[in-house]
Amino acid sequence: MDTFKALLITRDEATKAQAVGEATLSAADLMPGDVDIRVAYSTINYKDGLAITGRLPVVRRFPMIPGVDLAGTVVASASPDYRPGDEVILNGWGLGETHLGAFSQMARVKADWLVPLPEGFTLQEAMAVGTAGYTAMMAVMAIEAHGVGFDQGQVVVTGANGGVGSIAVALLSRLGYQVAAVTGRSQHPDYLIGLGAGEIIDRAEFTGAPKLLGKERFAGGVDAVGGTVLANLLAVTKMHGAIAACGNAGGMELPTSVAPFILRGVSLLGIDSVYAPKARRLAAWARLARDLDRDKLAAMTTVIPFSGIVPAAHDIVAGKVRGRLVVEIG
Ligand code: NDP
């Protein structure tokens, strides 16, 4: 492939105004790396929405090809670990932030960042999971490791209609947990019930001024929104329970107190997927292969063309996307 198509974010250094458009690039435009990949699929995560709309300073280098997740086929490799024809995926590691990313027919990356296509997934399914799904899995593993079992009472998932939320609901229900789904779209419960939620809670219940403590309600949970919602969840988490916090769709702040931590022994478990070490990634993908219901994954996934990336980026930061969006790149 002498030239290839990519989405490019540029910035006017005088005004700091950002522009996004399709560009034709060549291999010489790519950043250093030891493996060249023909990208087949990518996906739209919340962070891609922030990068493309410029709503938060996700992009650290201009020009930048956005896209934090890719799945594709190796076409050239200077690494002994990969050969042409190998199918691989990449989640995070600064892709689309500091390193040219996934919304491109070609990518050049470090071999250490790659994971062989996990067994049991097609390239397209791996992107339906994407960073959102693999983060949801790491959050579920974190509360399990803390000792929150399915026999300890209801668990809660926030941002439930989103990518992380949808996959967390599907995983937890498959694992036998009673799942309460917190959503701003409670008037359309069928989707979440289909994924396995036992109770749908309107987000408005968790957006008031947080109390120091409330009636104990959830044994644990996965929070994708942060802000006041997370503060309210902590106040109603049961004695010795744990909430895995992985997102900020509802805000970066956390207006809580020490009360849940020192009076109920509640734990707040931080989840970072971007720079997670390879062993943890492989463990999460192995669990996804075992615990994620493929029919539910298909039911929450919409495939969009390359031309749909920019509109989808605006939709995701506006909270309008449901489930997961896969982008056909190749
Ligand atoms: P999505 O946009 O798909 O999901 C976010 C969901 O949050 C929305 O669907 C909506 O769900 C809810 N939401 C939207 N706006 C608000 C608001 N103002 N207040 C409260 N809830 C809101 O995003 P993703 O699932 O891809 O990502 C979710 C979060 O997780 C993001 O903040 C993302 O940056 C973060 N993330 C972090 C990672 C990490 O490594 N720590 C990795 C991956 C994602 P509903 O309509 O049901 O309420």
CA distance from start to end of the chain: 12
Instruction: Write out the two tokens for 78.
Output: 């200077």
Is residue 11 within 8 A of residue 17, CB to CB? The reply is yes
CA 43 to CA 57: how far, in whole Å?
20
ω into residue 80 within 30 of 0, thus cis?
no
**Is 301 near ligand 1, meaning CB less than 6 Å away?**
no
Q: Dihedral sign, CA of 257, 258, 263, 265? A: positive
Look at residues 214, 200, 216, 250 and name the one whose alpha carbon lies nearest to residue 230.
Answer: 250
Backbone phi, psi, residue 151, to 5°: -90, 5
Mean pLDDT per 10-residue interval, the chain, length 330 residues: 94 93 96 98 97 93 97 98 98 97 98 96 98 97 98 97 98 98 96 98 97 98 98 98 96 96 98 96 97 97 98 96 96
**Is 316 near ligand 1, meaning CB less than 6 Å away?**
yes
**Is 205 near ligand 1, meaning CB less than 6 Å away?**
no
Give 74 Cα–ligand 1 centroid separation in angstroms.
31
Q: Tell me what pLDDT residue 66 has.
A: 98
Q: Dihedral sign, CA of 225, 7, 59, 37? A: positive
DSSP state of 185: -
**Is 246 near ligand 1, meaning CB less than 6 Å away?**
yes
Nearest CA to ligand 1 atom 29: 247
Q: Tell me what pLDDT residue 330 has.
A: 85
Could you give the count of Cα atoms lying within 13 Å of 107 in the half-sphere of its Cβ?
36
Pairing of strands 237-245, 267-270: parallel
Beta-carbon contacts of residue 289 (< 8 Å; ≥ 6 apart)? 118, 119, 120, 121
**Radius of gyration for the chain, computed over Cα atoms and rounded to the nearest angstrom:** 20
CA 253 to CA 290: how far, in whole Å?
35
**Is 168 near ligand 1, meaning CB less than 6 Å away?**
no
Nearest CA to ligand 1 atom 19: 250
Give 6 Cα–ligand 1 centroid separation in angstroms.
26
Q: Tell me what pLDDT residue 2 has.
A: 87
Choosing from 56, 158, 164, 300 the residue with most ligand 1 atoms within 8 A of its CB, the one to mutate for a pocket test is 164
Q: Tell me what pLDDT residue 209 has.
A: 96
**Is 134 near ligand 1, meaning CB less than 6 Å away?**
no
